[in-house]
Amino acid sequence: MEEVKIGHVDVKSVMTKSSLPVGGYSVNPYVGCTHACKYCYASFMKRFTGHTEEWGTFLDVKHWPEIRNPQRYAGQRVVIGSVTDGYNPQEEQFGNTRKLLEQLRGSNADILITTKSDLVLRDLDLLKELGQVTVSWSINTLDEDFKNDMDCAVSIERRIAAMKQVYDAGIRTVCFVSPVFPGLTDFEAIFARVKNQCDLFWLENLNLRGGFKKTIMDYIAVKHPGLMPLYNQIYNRHDRSYFEALMRQAEAMARQYDCPFVDNEMPYGRVPQGHPIIVNYFYHEEIRGSENTGARHKKEDK
């Protein structure tokens, strides 16, 4: 991976009203994400930030005025990491996400953290103190080689181990099977690994758009040429039958394990061990708007 270019940016507020289906507020302590996922929808953010570097090779550290009245977010859902990972490797140095959590003490907000990292374990003390918290890990494979081809985040095994520690600490957890790669993602195998340590099991299709469509299609052509007819059917001919079949498979799995199955929802509460709520988020990007991170006020520095 190329050297990461670190910059700093002042923002008027770190809290942004969200257009995500889960609603509330979207909070991104950084601009960019050094996990450099090849399929990352958030790479579109470069249109707003002025970056010309490759996605994954830059990171702007946000600086915001302290949140002095966290109670204003009481009862609101606050999503940390909609277009970045708040626990990217640089968080260990800059601590923006921990600072944000400290400022949200006493807010009584419904906090959702999305990550691919186990660095969240550093903040377990704060998560317990904050109360209504959910931590979601993206896990779309058990194959570490495929994972390494797709992102620079920690291993799948480390994510699963972190999920168990957070779950055992009494905090609600999510396994987000996203994106589901046709012919490659075995969500039933993933479910078997995590069903006793997560409350929610989300499923989202691989959506190829923008510049990374060619990247993924070229990858499939080289590494999995036998899947090219399927990928052409889905992404060039716009045939949904494959994902429609996966939805039925997920619903059948829910019946097999006596798990609730819901569409495009984020239910509250914890569930009995081994019976996570399976949530169908296939094609939910069609109702999801974009997020922006505010204007940039300072230029990058190495």
Chain segment 213-244, per-residue pLDDT in tens? 999 999 999 999 999 999 999 999 999 999 99
Cβ-Cβ contacts under 8 Å for 191 (sequence gap 6 or more)? 175, 201, 253, 257, 278
Is the separation of the CB atoms in 16 and 27 below 8 Å? yes
* Confidence (pTM): 0.91
Rounded average pLDDT over 93-111: 97
Query: How confident is the model at residue 292, as a pLDDT?
Result: 31
Residue 174: give the domain boundaries. 5-287
In a domain? residue 295: no
Band of pLDDT at residue 289, cut at 50, 70 and 90: very low
* Closest to 215 measured CA to CA, from 36, 1, 33, 49: 36
Residue 251 resides in a domain:
yes
Report the amino acid identity of residue 231. Y
CATH number at 34 reads 3.20.20
Residue 301: inside a domain: no
Q: Taking 50 as the threshold, does the pLDDT of residue 300 lie above it?
A: no
- Based on its alpha-carbon atoms, the radius of gyration of the chain, rounded to whole angstroms, reads 19
For position 284, what pLDDT does the model report? 67
> What total of structural domains would you count in the chain?
1
Structure tokens at 153: 């985040």
Closest listed residue to residue 13, CA positions, set 294, 297, 302, 299: 294
Q: Is residue 120 included in any domain, yes or no?
A: yes
Predicted local confidence at residue 21, as pLDDT: 61
| Percent of the chain's residues with pLDDT above 90 | 79
Q: What is the rounded (10 degree) CA torsion for 191, 194, 199, 205?
A: -40
Structural domain includes residue 294: no
Confidence at residue 22, expressed as pLDDT on a 0 to 100 scale: 61
Q: What integer best gives the mean pLDDT of the chain? A: 90
Locate 195 and state its tokens: 């069903």
Percent of the chain surpassing pLDDT 70: 90
Q: Is residue 292 part of a domain?
A: no
pLDDT at 206 over 60: yes
53-101: per-residue pLDDT in tens?
Answer: 888 999 999 999 999 999 999 999 999 998 999 999 999 999 999 999 9
Query: What pLDDT is stored for residue 77 in this prediction?
Result: 94
Concatenating the DSSP letter of every residue in 97-155 gives HHHHHHHTTT---EEEEEES-SGGGGGHHHHHHH-SEEEEEE---S-HHHHHHH--S--
Is position 296 within any domain?
no
- Does residue 233 lie within any of the structural domains? yes
